[in-house]
Amino acid sequence: MSEPRILSFYLEPGLKESAEAGEHNFLGKIAGVARAAGFETRYFGNGADERARSLTRPGYALFHMEAPTHARAVTVRRAYTYPFWSIERTEKRWEFDVAKAAFDPGEAPAKEAARFAGFWRQRLCGDWAQAPESGHVYIALQGRLLERRSFQSCAPVEMVEAVLRNEAERPVVAGLHPKESYSEAELEALEKLEEKHPRLRVRMGGMEQLLPGCDYVVTQNSGVGFMGYFHRKPLVLFGQIDFHHIAAKAGEIGAKEAIRLAPGMAPDFDGYLWWFLQKMAINAGRSEAEEKIADRLRALGWPV
């Protein structure tokens, strides 16, 4: 017996109200595709109780940035910048289909890729001030600095140490994430590194000032690394993520080799941005967005 044509959205407060009112562009397009295929749409919160109820509710389910709870559920997540989105079976970016796909630089049409990347570079970064400093390594930190998580090759504080150990010339700036809450132990660990290494400076945030002038970016898997591609900045990754294809991966080749390679790396940044965003993600601002949404849902087994 086939599942009833019901699509249940499980969304956080604010986003739920926006989607239910038809005011969210991407979620509204998904709802439109579903309704055109005969689905009824329902909207719920994303608390623990509602997630538990999703296991027994009929039909299909959609979550935002959270793990799908059953085989007929998907999660949606912004592909780092509006209006680009992904629809996936997992909330883990490093397990997204794009992460497993192979990037072929020859696949991207050169003129179109250059136009695309240039447009979005200006759109996203056009009002950034000229870089007040240059020639540094920009380490984009996230949270849980003293802990090595399953998708990381080392703890973040060990990543900072690896950069200082293997980058002999450039000053190093580590940017803390402004939305993270850091413990006293984490901050003390960074202070000790600053005392030991005069080339290291730790600051809060500062992506718009630090990214344009850096020689390369180092991170576990922060979206800052992806934004660096718009500025044609080589990237060293110490963690798994979906935009790994043109980065030097410390987990695969070692920190020393990744940091040695980074300054001289010059991949096809424009082609990669076109491939990642325009081909592999869904541009909710384009006229063909509904068609791409339907294609993606069908590929995931939904009857739309």
CATH number at residue 166: 3.40.50
- Could you tell me if 267 and 212 lie in one domain? yes
Tell the burial category of 32 from Cβ atoms under 10 Å away from its Cβ (0-12, 13-18, 19+).
middle
Q: What number of other Cβ atoms are within 10 A of residue 275's Cβ? A: 23
Give the count of domains, the chain.
2
304: in domain: no
Give the pLDDT score at 77: 98
- Could you tell me if 139 and 78 lie in one domain? no
Tens digit of pLDDT per residue, the chain (304 long)? 578 999 999 999 999 999 999 999 999 999 999 999 999 999 999 999 999 999 999 999 999 999 999 999 999 999 999 999 999 999 999 999 999 999 999 989 999 999 999 999 999 988 776 667 789 999 999 999 999 999 999 999 999 999 999 998 999 999 999 999 999 999 999 999 999 999 999 999 999 999 999 999 999 999 999 999 999 999 999 999 999 999 999 999 999 999 999 999 999 999 999 999 999 999 999 999 999 999 999 999 999 9
My answer on whether omega of the bond before 267 falls inside 30° of 0, hence cis, is no
Give the pLDDT score at 127: 76
Gap between the terminal Cα atoms of the chain: 17
CA-closest candidate to residue 270, choices 56, 114, 94, 88: 114
Give the pLDDT score at 131: 64
- Residue 11 contacts residue 46 (beta carbons within 8 Å): yes
Rounded Cα distance between 206 and 38, Å, is 48
What's the whole-model pTM score?
0.95
- Could you tell me if 245 and 287 lie in one domain? no
Instruction: Read off φ and ψ for residue 47, nearest 5 degrees.
Output: -70, 175
1: in domain: no
157: in domain: yes
- Could you tell me if 115 and 208 lie in one domain? yes
Inter-axis angle of helices 289-299 and 25-36, nearest 10 = 60
Rounded Cα distance between 64 and 87, Å, is 9
- Could you tell me if 114 and 56 lie in one domain? no
b or e along 49-83 (b: 16 or more beta carbons within 10 Å of the residue's beta carbon)?
A: eebeebeebebbbbbbebebbeebbbbbbbbbeeb
Give the pLDDT score at 84: 98
66: in domain: yes
Tell the burial category of 6 from Cβ atoms under 10 Å away from its Cβ (0-12, 13-18, 19+).
middle
Domain that holds residue 77: 6-101+280-299
Rounded Cα distance between 185 and 294, Å, is 48
- Could you tell me if 27 and 139 lie in one domain? no
Rounded Cα distance between 39 and 108, Å, is 36
- Over its C-alpha atoms, the chain yields an Rg (Å, rounded) of 21
Give the pLDDT score at 129: 65
- Could you tell me if 49 and 122 lie in one domain? no
CA-closest candidate to residue 283, choices 15, 9, 97, 25: 25
- Could you tell me if 123 and 263 lie in one domain? yes
Give the pLDDT score at 63: 98
